[in-house]
Amino acid sequence: MHYTHLGRSGLRVSRLCLGTMNFGPFTSEADAFALMDRAVELGINFFDTADVYGRKRSEGITEHILGRWFAQGGGRREFVVLATKIYGMMDAPARSDPNLDRGLSARKIIQGCEASLRRMQTDRIDLYQMHHVDRLCPVDEWMGAMETLQRQGKIYYVGSSNFAGWDLATACTTADLRASSARLVCEQSLYNLASRTIELEVIPACRHFGLGLIPWSPLGGGLLGGALAKAAAGRRAAPDFEKQLAAKRPQLERYEALCTKLGAAPGDVALAWLLAQPVVTAPIIGPRTMDQLTDALRALELKLTPETLQQLNEIFPGPGGSAPEAYAW
Q: Which residues are catalytic?
A: 53
DSSP 5-52: ESTTSS-EEESSEEE-TTBTTTB-HHHHHHHHHHHHHTT--EEE--TT
Name every residue whose Cβ is closer than 8 Å to that of residue 205 and which is 6 or more positions away in sequence: 165, 166, 168, 169, 172, 187, 211
C-alpha–C-alpha distance, residues 34 and 91, integer Å: 30
Name every residue whose Cβ is closer than 8 Å to that of residue 236 and which is 6 or more positions away in sequence: none
Displacement of CA 80 from its chain's centroid (Å): 16
Q: Going by DSSP bridges, is the β-strand pair 284-285/212-216 parallel, antiparallel, or unpaired?
A: unpaired
